[in-house]
Every structure is written in structure tokens, then in C-alpha cells.
Amino acid sequence: MARNRKALNRRDFIKEMTQATLGGIVLGGQYSCIDKKNADEVDQQVRDGQLYKKVKKPARVSLIKGNDRREIIYQSLKMIENEVLESLGNKKVLVKPNVVVTDNPLAATHVDALRAVLDFLAPHYKKQILIGESSAMKTLEGFKNYGYLALEKEYNVKLADLNQGYSYQYRYVLGKGNRPLPVRIISTFLDPNVYIISVARMKTHNKVLVTLSLKNILLGCPLNDYKKNDKAMYHTGPPAVDDFCHYNMFHSAQEVYPDLAVIDGFVGMEGKGPAWGTPFDSKVAIASCDALAADTIATKVMGFDPKRILYLSAMTEAGMGQGEIEKINILGAALDQCLFHFKPHEKMAELYKL
């Protein structure tokens, strides 16, 4: 469910409910509230069809195979061009790459993936585009190491370290013992007038099995001011199938959500993702205005079951997007021609019995 859909104004609802019912919305569509009044309010929301109602409408996801990264990503966007332009409107554009570390190119969004997105936008969008990241390491160092600086000369874009000079707002996540932990969320991600494009590499992960378009945004929005890194508070416990990170991403997704998902699987990462795995040449690109649908298809392409990944299945139950494969219309290549077997992180292989 995109952030600006009128069916459920997440920001108003969360602001009202969190004051009295922190932790009241939990995975799987159940809830627990601290008093009967708040329980009645949530019950009414459910009866009105505003909470935990699965998306029935099919989603469109483009899946392109080929031998040129930039071209297949561009073509994946062209296949949904009208849908993208309709949703973009007159908003400001934030293109969010994934720079999880600054010294391993395989872990980061490739500069040609960004070029493909900018090539697609150029004929339609004449305002300056922000390419912004809030890395767990030194963002600008990553921009330099991965060749991003050239983009400011090639396109009408501005590179930005969102960890410095940008305002933030406090929200809560859950930590050990279900304690609420205040985290600083970069305000740009909360702005309904910002069109968020997540450009992520297809990778395995050591906490939640896969990291794709959603996690790129949801773990990108907490602030790391280089003195304190709030991203770490999203996963405070030992690795588990129901790791806190699943809940905390689900919780944050009610306010922070990509408008357009672009997943670069030309060369993905398997094994010790998200930072130190090995390359996997799947040579695919995925794009959709439904980030959950995009991540669901990408997870299937990688050889994993999306229903077993708690943050994906919870978002499906909550109607944040279309997460049922049979209700996703795939454009381009046939899914059965793009199925691979990514090696999971060894910790996840043990926990998921893969």
C-alpha cells in the first residue's frame, strides 16, 4: 500500500493510536491494547475495512532478462511507464540506492542501475532529482568509491548524505524485552510530497533472509549521525525466524514506504549478505509500483518462499501491497524461466532449515 493511498491514512492513525497503544499492532493481523476503549477503536477500524484487509486487486511487476544491466532495468521501467508517471505526479523525487558498506561494490547499488532509472525519468521529469542515502557507514565515501559522483555531471541530480543536515522525527521500535526504543527517522522519508524510488540489489541477508526494495527504505530511514546509529535498534536480538527486525520494519512501513521499487538482479549476492556474500549472475531486473509485489517476486526468483519471510507475509496480511504470487501479473519474462537457487546466509540456512 503506497503511503498516499486514501484507504488508510497511516500517519494519522499511527499518531493517534501510538500515544496509548504502543506495540498494539503486531505481526499476523492480531493486536493487544492497554484498555477497552482503544481495543474498541481498533475493532471499529477492522470492521470498517481499514486494517488488515488483503489487497484483492492484482499488481503488475515487470521481470526482464538480458545481458546488459542498464538496459534491462530501463526496459523493466518502460513496461510500467504509464503507471509510474501517473503515481509520480508533481512530487519531488528521491532515488534511494543501497550503500550498506563503502568498500565492497557487490554490496551496493551499481551506478549503472541508477543511470537506468535516471534515463527513464529524464524525458518526463525536469526538476532536480535527489539521490540520497543514509548509510550505516560514511555515505559520501560510498558515493565516491562506487562512481556516483559522475551522476551530477551527467544528469540533473544532487547527491545527498541524508545522515547530515536533514531533519528527523522520533518514532518507536521494539527492543529486547519488548521495550520501546525511540529512533530518529529522517523526515524526507515521512514527507508525502516526496516520491521514493528504491533502487536495490538482489541480496541475501543475515537477519531477515532477503534484502530487497522494502528493506532498502525501511532500514535506510533511521538516522546515523556518525555518533549514534539508530538502524541498529531495528534488530537487537539474536537471529531468529521471528527476529525483531521483521516487526520493526512492518511497523515503520505504515509511514515509510517506497512508491516505486527497482530491483537489480543482474549480479546479485548470495551467502553472507548483505555485505560480504558472493556474486550470483541471475541477469534479471524487476520493477513495480507495488514494492511488496516486487519483493515477493524477487524472493521467489532467488529460490525462497515469500510466505516464510515474516515481514513480507505480515505486510501481505495488512494490505500494504499485493503479496500473493497468484495475484501478481508478471510482465516480460516468464517467472518459471527466472527461478534460481541463491545460497542463504549460513545463519538463515540453519534457522529456516534450508
Three-state secondary structure readout of 114-159? HHHHHHHHCCCCCCCEEEEECCCCCHHHHHHHCCHHHHHHHCCEEE
Cβ–Cβ under 8 Å, residues 350 and 322: no
| Local confidence band at 45 (pLDDT 50, 70, 90 cut-offs) | low
Q: How many CA atoms lie within 13 A of 241 on its CB side?
A: 11
pLDDT tens string 49-70:
556 678 889 999 999 999 999 9
For 43-96, the three-class secondary structure string (H helix, E strand, C coil) is HHHHHCCCCCCCCCCCEEEEEEECCCHHHHHHHHHHCCHHHHHHHHCCCEEEEE
Q: What is the pTM of this model?
A: 0.88
pLDDT tens string 97-156:
999 999 999 999 999 999 999 999 999 999 999 999 999 999 999 999 999 999 999 999
Q: Which domains does the chain have, with CATH numbers?
A: 57-351 (3.40.50)
| Local confidence band at 48 (pLDDT 50, 70, 90 cut-offs) | low
Identify the bridge partners of residue 315 per DSSP, sorted by sequence position.
none
Q: What percent of the chain has pLDDT over 70?
A: 85
The number of beta carbons lying within 10 Å of the beta carbon of residue 324 is 17
Radius of gyration of the chain (CA): 19
pLDDT tens string 5-42:
433 344 344 334 333 333 333 443 333 333 555 566 65
Q: What percent of the chain has pLDDT over 90?
A: 82
CA distance 144 to 148: 6
